[in-house]
Structure 1
Amino acid sequence: MGMKTRVAWTTALLALAIPAGASAVKVGEPLYVKAKNTRVQASPSGSDNAVAVLQPGERVTWGGADAKHKQWHRVTTATGKKGFVFQTNLSTTPPNMELVTQGNGTQQVDPKKFVASGAAVKALSPGAEQYGKDKGGDHGKAVRDIKALETLAKSVSTADIAAHVTAAGLFPVVGASDTVAKAGTNKRSGNR
């Protein structure tokens, strides 16, 4: 590997070590959870025990990146639990509130409830779906393809994803459950 390639990789890796916009965040300021069942680990390791499990939109207080494992960031939860969260699960901004229209007008939806409802995996609104069908051709095919992907997404559970992460030897930084496992459970399992 040449020097230019090594520098490019090093730069890319350093950029990944900090949440987007974290350079503007100071220790003690808030960050927000982006992923469902984000695990707050006891140490900066994907194989350690989780001390808490957080949901999208939950606010944490940032304690900075771990000195040795920069992809792990120290956080304190709203309930005072301290631990480490994998950097890609943190954001400098809270999630956008989803808007839904019902008979009595437009309403905001809590992001945690929205994710739990399964609506977050729906790619097409009914209006967009009808537009694609009406246009026909490639638009109609795109609608059919997206609908097939939505069906596939509904068949994959959080437990399936956690099992794949374990089987592939990846960091289980997002768990299969929204609860913390009791002492004595297998650290590498998705059942936390």
Structure 2
Amino acid sequence: MPTGVALRDVREQLFDAADRILLRAGPSGLTSRAVTTEAGVAKGVLHRHFEDFDAFLADFVLDRVDRMDARAAALRDAAGTGEVADNVADALAAVFGSVAVSIVALVTFRDELRARLRESWPAGVPVLTDLAVMLDRYLSAERDLGRLPGSADVSTLAAMLVGSAHLLYADRTGPAPTPDAVRRVVAAVLARA
């Protein structure tokens, strides 16, 4: 890239490049050189905007978690409409069908990244923890509307749903589970309510 050329939203450009690399090559393919090459920027650009590569990765993960806020709001707004199991299955498919599975692997893969994330994210793996909170809030709303039993332990159900869905989607190189497979798992977990 020529010097003196202004970059539009370099953070987003780098984060989008990281998404593409994670989806294509997984965590082992995500290096600072791979990111800058994929983004089409000079190697030094990343280090001008971030302290080091792990600082870049931490900001990347937190940015992608923040993007789940709109999905969480949409799921909460769906309370009282449609089938509970369908709403949950759709939300799980949307999250795990994105770069989320690769982000979970990335966080697991890099010790320094986990240490950096602990500075602002005290427990759990960011994507999975945020998803559990999103499902807990939605299921609480459905319980309040009487669409789940009043005795339903929604926090436990949310954790079970996240874990079960993660198992379905964990092999990023294999075929994604069918919507019916996700729906069956969700229905089985919710049957315990």
TM-score, normalization: structure 1? 0.29
TM-score, normalization: structure 2? 0.29
Query: Greater CA radius of gyration, 1 or 2?
Result: 1
